[in-house]
A = this chain, B = another copy of it.
Amino acid sequence: MKGPQLQCKSMRSMKKESIRTVIVDDHQMVIEGLKTLLNGYESIEITSFFTTGKAVLEFLNNQPVDIVLLDVNLPDINGVEICKIIHEKYPETKTLGLSTYNEPSIINQMIKNGVKGYLLKNATADELVHAITQIHNGNFYFGSEIQNILASSITDDKDAPPKLTRREKHVLTLIANGKTTNQIAEELFISPLTVETHRRNLIRKMEVTNAAALVKIAIDKNLI
């Protein structure tokens, strides 16, 4: 399926229309790696690269870009947030998520925020190029590992965000810090009985049996 569909595209410009791609990653080594991996592929042009979310958003303000290779863990802005901003402000620009770890909840959030594909950083050059090409053609691309992760996380329905209220999150944080019901009540200027209620609701919502497990699950789900 690779092959002679290159020239049929009814090009807007002359030559081969290359896919304008930018890289966002806070690690120089990864940036270099990506540049090297994509070096031999003429269809893809690395327009620029950035180590912060702020920088790439500024750039997009002035320059049209086809694909953003977006690392999830950035120093300034969360990758999930950047994803959202990009797709709201620049609907033409497509994002391909990249990360080291395979956290279903993050991937899910990225998808909700409009990411068009997702790869782990151990991807090969071919896989990377394939992903970029697919996404540029309006398709989605998720590596097989990612698909497995997503599939299992959907069937399990596990990382479904249990929708904690603001107050509950606050109480949860205090519980995780070792505060007792009475201490929490003092701190929040409410009755210990109320704190008990929140505590109960947290344990029920998170489907656990005590505070220790509650804390663990909460951390697992990045709620703290």
Task: Report if A180 contacts B (CB, 8 A).
Answer: yes
Q: Chain B residues near A177: list those with CB within 8 A.
A: 213, 216
CB distance from A181 to the nearest CB of B (A): 11
Taking A35-B36, A51-B122, A219-B219 as contacts, is the C-beta distance between A176 and B212 under 8 angstroms?
Answer: yes
- Overall SS of chain A's interface: helix
Question: Which of A109-129 touch B at CB < 8 Å?
Answer: 120-125
Flag whether A64 is at the interface (Cβ < 8 A): no
- Minimum CB–CB distance from A219 to chain B (whole Å) comes to 5
Residue of B nearest to A207 (CB): B178
Among A6-14, A22-30, A149-157, the one that faces the other chain is A22-30
Tier of interface size on chain A: 35 or more
Inter-chain contacts of A214 with B (CB < 8 A): 178, 212
List B contacts of A210 (CB < 8 A).
178, 180, 211
Bound together, the chains give a CA A100 to CA B122 distance in angstroms of 14
| Complex: A65 Cα to B111 Cα, angstroms | 44
Seed contacts A27-B120, A33-B34; 20 additional CB < 8 Å A-B pairs: A27-B122, A28-B33, A28-B37, A28-B123, A28-B125, A30-B121, A32-B33, A32-B34, A32-B36, A33-B33, A36-B36, A73-B100, A176-B213, A177-B213, A178-B208, A178-B214, A210-B211, A212-B214, A215-B215, A215-B216
